[in-house]
Amino acid sequence: MDLTLDPARAAWRAEVRSWLAANVPSEPLPSLDTREGFQAHREWELRLYDAGLAVVTWPAHYGGRDADLLDWLVFEEEYWAAGAPVRVGQNGIFLLAPTMWEFATREQLDRFMPPMARGEEIWAQGWSEPDAGSDLAALRSRADRADGGWKVNGQKTWSTRAAYADWMFGLFRTDPESSRHHGLTYLLLPLDAPGCHHPPIRQLDGEPGFAEVFFDDVFVPDEHVLGEVGQGWKVAMSTTTSERGLTLRSPGRFMASADRLLSLVRRTPDADPVLVADAVQAWLDADAYRLYVQSTALEALAGKPIGAESSANKLFWSQLDVRIHETAFAVARPARDLHRRRRPPMARRVSVLARRSDLRRHQRGAAQRRGGARARVAEGVSAMRLLPSVEALGLRGCGARPARGCVRRGSAAGGVGLAGRTGAGLWKRLADVGVPGLAVPEEHGGSGMDLTSLVPGAGGVRTRRGA
């Protein structure tokens, strides 16, 4: 597959890069979990909007650029590489908006999308309740019929950003006779409505990152029901699909984290060789994820169905996410801890050797070692012939053996001149990239895969590094 950047996408990358270079604050904004930081991040959203960069995939009519998926991937790579602020509006822009395109009326779109794009209305999610966490269908918050709308009573909890957010979307039981997934309705509620209280929940660092939300006869008009009354579960699954899919986990985020991890290793001359190998592997995996998503995006834009193997993405990035941060945590441990350490036990040394051999396998061309999804990543890797050395990553002298090869992060991330195709249909399909419903039957929204597809070596998922 040709992953060469066409001139239009190269120009887009240059435009985004140049704006970010001139505008990303030189000092990090104050913490998003403080009132001051929340406001600073809100103002950043408005700056992005004024530059036409807040909601690039949205229709121009609502402040977007009609960008297709590849342009969005380019934007995300540049955004995170530039160290730009976390998106305070992400619940709205990345989770609610795709659901709105699918279920909202024209009036609802006109009412909610513009202030969402400008960061004037920040959204919180209202799913979890004290006795309904993993088991969301056990929720008990209810909305009872009232004149022209609904009276909401109950409690939500663990609501990210709700300490300072303006609106909440969530699920409420509207049919008191119903149970489980039935009789639920998806509502849009202003958090400053009479009867609504949202006291913060302090995190370990003392900052109020979450909130509980209490509803005491909060009135919600009919115009703020999203989708059909009683069909809330279906609407909510659209939102959660976006949360589990690509939109919050663009490869650019992982590449930026992996780059930071390598920088940390470079600044740690006595880093444990085990950790250096882990860092290199994490970087390789982030790049593999980038190439894989890119190839999937090209196929989707070319009209090919997204296969079940793309669901492997979710497993891949969630494990990668943990590994990057665990490794960074271990590298950043006080030096005295490292000095106290004795030689690693035999099992650990064996595992280091295994990882080095994994690096060498990468060098020889992953195309020959994986079927299915992994092979497609490898095709991109070998096609680009990007095999510089660990020295090129600046890791020499950081405890790494001069392991000879790894995949360089290429600049090529663009398309092959495909016409931009946007719209709810495409985005719905693309949200499915990374959905973890691997073995769930298709009629229930899953991928209907045989569990043997998940076994390493059987064309599926790598469950452990190098396995």
Active-site annotation, residues: 243
Closest CA to 42 of 109, 122, 132: 122
Q: Point out which span in 96-104, 123-131, 329-337, 388-396 binds ligand FAD (CB under 6 A).
A: 123-131
Binding residue (CB under 6 A) for ligand FAD from 128, 238, 281, 296: 128
Q: Is 127 in the site for ligand FAD (CB under 6 A)?
A: yes
Q: Point out which span in 23-31, 154-162, 192-200, 434-442 binds ligand FAD (CB under 6 A).
A: 154-162
Angstrom distance (rounded) from CA 152 to CA 225 = 12
Closest CA to 149 of 115, 189, 106, 177: 189
Residue with Cβ nearer ligand FAD (160 or 231): 160
C-alpha Rg value of the chain to the nearest Å = 23
Q: Is 80 in the site for ligand FAD (CB under 6 A)?
A: no
Q: Is residue 198 within 8 Å of residue 210, measured between CB atoms? A: no
Binding residue (CB under 6 A) for ligand FAD from 7, 27, 134, 385: 134
Please state the closest distance from residue 128 (CB atom) to ligand FAD, in A.
Answer: 4
Closest CA to 165 of 99, 90, 240, 232: 90
Number of residues that bind ligand FAD (CB under 6 A): 10
Q: Point out which span in 152-160, 331-339, 413-421, 441-449 binds ligand FAD (CB under 6 A).
A: 152-160
Please state the closest distance from residue 429 (CB atom) to ligand FAD, in A.
Answer: 25
CA distances from 445 to 157, 262, 316, 442 (A): 27, 39, 20, 5
Q: Which single residue brings its beta carbon nearest to ligand FAD?
A: 133
Angstrom distance (rounded) from CA 84 to CA 26 = 9
Q: Is 402 in the site for ligand FAD (CB under 6 A)?
A: no
Q: Point out which span in 47-55, 102-110, 157-165, 435-443 binds ligand FAD (CB under 6 A).
A: 157-165
Name the one residue in this structure whose structure tokens are 């497609």: 376
Q: Point out which span in 15-23, 31-39, 124-132, 312-320 binds ligand FAD (CB under 6 A).
A: 124-132
Residue with Cβ nearer ligand FAD (90 or 296): 90
Tell whether the torsion through CA atoms of 111, 117, 121 and 123 is positive or negative. Answer: positive
Closest CA to 233 of 124, 106, 111, 99: 99
Residue with Cβ nearer ligand FAD (44 or 127): 127
Binding residue (CB under 6 A) for ligand FAD from 34, 108, 160, 382: 160
Please state the closest distance from residue 245 (CB atom) to ligand FAD, in A.
Answer: 16
Angstrom distance (rounded) from CA 240 to CA 160 = 15
Angstrom distance (rounded) from CA 412 to CA 45 = 28
Angstrom distance (rounded) from CA 93 to CA 103 = 15
Q: Is 125 in the site for ligand FAD (CB under 6 A)?
A: yes
Binding residue (CB under 6 A) for ligand FAD from 99, 141, 159, 327: 159
Angstrom distance (rounded) from CA 8 to CA 386 = 23
| Beta-bridge partners for 213 | 156
Q: Is residue 170 within 8 Å of residue 154, measured between CB atoms? A: no
Residue with Cβ nearer ligand FAD (173 or 290): 173
Q: Is 242 in the site for ligand FAD (CB under 6 A)?
A: no
Contacting positions for ligand FAD (CB under 6 A): 125-128, 133-134, 156, 158-160
